[in-house]
Amino acid sequence: MTDNAAKKRIVIVGSGFGGMAAAKALKGVDAEIALVDKTNHHLFQPLLYQVATAALSPADIATASRALLRHQPNVGVLMAEVTGVDADRRLVHLAGGRELPYDYLVLAIGAAYSFFGHDAWAEFAPTLKSLSDALSIRARLLSAFEKAEECGDPKLIAKLLTFVVVGAGPTGVELAGTIAELARSTLARDFKAIDPRSARVILCEAGPRALSAFPQRLSDYAAEALRSLGVELRLGEAVNEIDADGLFVGGARIEASNVLWCAGTEARPAARWLDAEAARNGAVKVAPDCSVPGRPEIFVIGDAASFSDSAGAPLPGLAPVAKQQGHYVGRLIKARLAGGADAEPFHYRNYGTMAIIGRSRAIADFGRFTLTGFPAWVTWSLVHLMLLVDFRSRLTVYVNWSWAWFTYARGARLLTSEARDDSG
C-alpha cells in the first residue's frame, strides 16, 4: 500500500469519540494512519435517541469521517469491517480477506448491548447503537401508532401502544422520557380512532434506582420527572423473558409490541482478538498507558477498554473518557515515534456528567455541585450543541430543537412504506 516502507503504520479501528480523537491527536505526524470503521461517519451518539424518536435527522448528528479528516493528509479513511487481529504478525484482518499491517494499533471499537446470555431476546428487543438502529426504532415507534389507528381491536391497540424500555441508564431514561412526550404531546391530536395519550411507557430496571451512576438525590429527581411525564418506573424488577408479544418482568406479564433494550453493555470481540484478559463485561483490561499488557504497541480505549483509576474502580463508558483516552494515546504514539521518553499514565478528568429526562428536565453532576430541572436542561442543551462537530449541524440542531420546544412538533416523523414493512 505504501511506497515508503520506512513510514510507521498506525491503524485506528473505530471512528467514534475515541478513534477520532486519536486520529486528530496524530495530526502532522509523519506516519501512515488508517482509520477503519464499518460506517463512513463519525456519530454523535449522545443524541442518537433523538433520531430514534423523530426529533432529529441522521445528518444532524453524523458527519462523514473523510470530511472531518480532510485536512490531515496522513490519515486514510477505510470503510471496512474488522474481523480480527493477528497480534504476533501485527496484522488487522478485514472482512473479505484483506489484511492491514500496523506498527501501532488503536482499538476504539466501543461496546454492544448485552442480553446477559439471552441472545434470543435480541430479535424482539432492538438496541440503539447505530444510525440504522435509530431509524429502525423510529419506524417501529411511528408505525405502532399507525397500526393502532387502523386495527379497531382494543386488545391489540393496548398492546401496540405499550412501550417497554429495559434498563434505566442514561439511554433508557432518555428514550422512555421522549417516547412519553411523543405520545402525550407531539402525536396527541393527530389520530381519530386512538388517543395517543393513552399509550403506556414502562421503564424497567433490575437495580434499585434509575441512573445509578448519579448521586441518590439526582436519581430521585429523575424518577420523579419520569413519573410526571407519565412513565411507569419499575425498579428492582428484572426481565425474565421476552417474546414477540411482550415480556415477563419480575414474574408479571406485559403485552407489548415494542420492547427496547438499553440494559448492560458488553465489549466482546477485542479481548478475543487479542487473547487478552477481560473484565466481567468483556472489556480489555488495559495498563495505565491504555496499552494491552505485554503488547505495548496495542492500545484499547473507550468502551472497549476496562481502565481502572487510582482507586481501582473502572472508568465509566462515557464519551469524555473515550475522547480523553484517544487524545492521550494519539499523543503517546506521537511521542514514541519522536523517540520520546515514557509517558505519564492516563488520567481521566471528570468535568461532570449529565442526563436528560425530557423537555426542560435534566440532571447534572459536577462533583462539587449538582443541577436539576430547567437549569440542568439548559446546561445540557448548550453543552451538547457545542460538542457537535460542525457548525452546520449545530445550526440545524438548534433550529430543530427551538422549533420542537415551542411547538412540541417533531420534524422527522417519517415512515416509508418499506420501513413499515421492516418493522413487522
Residues that bind a copy of itself (CB under 8 A): 38-41, 57-60, 62-64, 66-67, 70, 76-81, 130-132, 142-143, 146, 149-150, 187, 189-192, 391-393, 395-396, 399-400, 403, 409, 411-420
Question: For residues 154 and 312, which CB has a smaller minimum distance to a copy of itself in the complex?
Answer: 154
Question: For residues 37 and 237, which CB has a smaller minimum distance to a copy of itself in the complex?
Answer: 37
Question: For residues 2 and 310, which CB has a smaller minimum distance to a copy of itself in the complex?
Answer: 2
Segments in 1-130 forming alpha helices (H): 17-25, 48-52, 58-61, 65-68
Burial bucket for residue 164 (CB in 10 Å: 0-12, 13-18, 19+): buried
| CA-based torsion, 254, 259, 262, 265: positive or negative | positive
Cβ contact 309:3 at 8 Å: no
Sheet holding 353-358, edge to edge: 353-358, 361-365, 370-372
Angle CA 378–383–389, to nearest 5: 140
Does an H or E element contain 85, and which?
strand 82-86
Residues 6+ apart with CB under 8 A from 237: 204, 205, 206, 249, 250
Active site amino acids: 174
Question: For residues 57 and 370, which CB has a smaller minimum distance to a copy of itself in the complex?
Answer: 57
Question: Cα(261)–Cα(128) distance, rounded to whole angstroms?
Answer: 8
Question: Cα(399)–Cα(56) distance, rounded to whole angstroms?
Answer: 10
Instruction: Tell me how far, at minimum, the Cβ of 39 lies from a copy of itself, in Å.
Output: 6
Question: Cα(162)–Cα(256) distance, rounded to whole angstroms?
Answer: 5
Question: For residues 143 and 219, which CB has a smaller minimum distance to a copy of itself in the complex?
Answer: 143
Instruction: Tell me how far, at minimum, the Cβ of 418 lies from a copy of itself, in Å.
Output: 5
246-249 and 252-255 beta bridge pairing = antiparallel
Instruction: Tell me how far, at minimum, the Cβ of 135 lies from a copy of itself, in Å.
Output: 8
Instruction: Tell me how far, at minimum, the Cβ of 85 lies from a copy of itself, in Å.
Output: 19
Question: Cα(95)–Cα(93) distance, rounded to whole angstroms?
Answer: 7
Question: For residues 151 and 213, which CB has a smaller minimum distance to a copy of itself in the complex?
Answer: 151
Cβ contact 40:64 at 8 Å: yes
Instruction: Tell me how far, at minimum, the Cβ of 404 lies from a copy of itself, in Å.
Output: 8
Instruction: Tell me how far, at minimum, the Cβ of 345 lies from a copy of itself, in Å.
Output: 35
